[in-house]
Chain A
Amino acid sequence: MSAIDLAAVLPGFDDPAFGSQAAFRAALQALSRPGTIVECERAAYSLGLALLDQDTRVWLSPAARSLGASLRFHTGCPLVDDVADADYMFVGAASEMPALERLALGSDEAPHRSATLIVEVDELSVHDGWTLSGPGISGTARLSVPALGAAFLAEWQANARRFPRGVDLFLCCGGRLCGLPRTTRIEG
């Protein structure tokens, strides 16, 4: 086990019980209502604090490496180098998105053993852009993520075809959070 540099550790929740409950509630809300924005302070980091423990393997993209010491310190999660081994992935910039088909997709018997991506994007809006449909969406919803282009859209459509297997995604933009579960269909 490598050493943790305490100088790089960010403070955790002010109150661990209420903080992680609030972050979990935000994650639940975001995944059950795709295409809506949920407020969640320090969204990506809070999700990490709330969802990770010693048994969840975590992969960090180069731009998310700075979170490593804090997540290790507060949750005890192991870090892995290969995206295929990870249960949770923190992607610090959309350009560092790993190929979705290389990730843990679960199996038909155990679809919950798939990876969850937590992606930090610099812009997130629900007024234009993609058209979303699927469970949790009444009719259709709009979502615009300029950082994710056509290549991601094709990968996401392939992800949806694997149902019940496939990955789930959280898009974080500072203190705003939007969930994209594997059941959500996106049209460009």
Chain B
Amino acid sequence: MLQLVEKEPHQRREWMRLLARAPLEMLESWHAAAEPPAHSWLRRPETGLAMVRARAGGTGEKFNLGEITLTRCVLRLESGECGVAYVQGRSHRKAELAALADAMLQSARGRHTRENLVAPLRERLERQAATLQRKAQATRVEFFTLAREAGE
């Protein structure tokens, strides 16, 4: 796996996580407003498979859950910042826009992207997760086991 040299690893990890799951229309509308500088490719978008690993209950042994389709790319802005994207699915455009957003977030003009893409994106994904959790909770069934009393 590619490891990257970075200045603010925690912040960057956070926005990479969000960008990887960003819907295309949000990225497109951000792109239209942000007008990022021209870029050149270090690695053109390419689609492949990645194995998703999981732990049951968060504590069990790691196991291979299954493979997902992944598209990645790396680009460099004219101003020198490098943007990396690993996004789920086969959309090359989505990977390109996510990498552009990553590069812009590292640049001096990062604030616009933080306010107009990352913040609404975080809100939207949190809302989605909350909805999903509420729906799941509605179907929750509690199982009780009654132990037989001794002597009867």
State the A residues within 8 Å of B (CB).
1-7, 9, 11-12, 16, 73-74
Contact = CB atoms under 8 A, between A and B. Distances in A.
A3 B5 CA distance: 6
B23 to A, nearest CB: 27
Contact of B80 (A2, A5, A7, A11): A7
Contacts of A5: 5
Interface residues on chain B, size class: 10 to 19
Interface string B1-14: 11111000000000
Contacts, number: 35
B43 interface: yes
A20 to B, nearest CB: 14
Nearest to A69: B5
A5 B3 CA distance: 9
B82 A6 contact: yes
Contact of A4 (B2, B41, B80): B2
B3 A6 contact: no
Contact of B82 (A2, A3, A7, A12): A7
A74 B44 CA distance: 11
B42 A3 contact: no
Shortest beta-carbon contacts, A-B, top 9: A6-B82, A3-B3, A5-B5, A3-B5, A9-B42, A11-B42, A11-B40, A1-B3, A3-B4
18 contacts: A2-B3, A3-B4, A3-B5, A4-B3, A4-B4, A4-B5, A5-B5, A6-B74, A6-B84, A7-B80, A7-B82, A9-B82, A12-B42, A12-B43, A16-B44, A73-B2, A73-B42, A74-B43
Nearest to B84: A6
Interface of B: 1-5, 40-44, 74, 76, 80, 82, 84
Contact of A6 (B1, B5, B44): B5
Contacts of B5: 3-7
A2 B40 CA distance: 25
Contacts of B1: 1
B82 to A, nearest CB: 4
A11 B4 contact: no
Contacts of B44: 16
Nearest to A2: B3
B43 to A, nearest CB: 7
B3 to A, nearest CB: 4
A74 B43 CA distance: 8
A7 B84 CA distance: 12
Contacts of A11: 40-42
Considering residues A1, A11, A12, A74, which has the most beta carbons from chain B within 10 angstroms of its beta carbon?
A: A11
A2 B5 CA distance: 10
A9 B44 CA distance: 14
Nearest to B40: A11
Contacts of B74: 6, 9, 73
B10 to A, nearest CB: 16
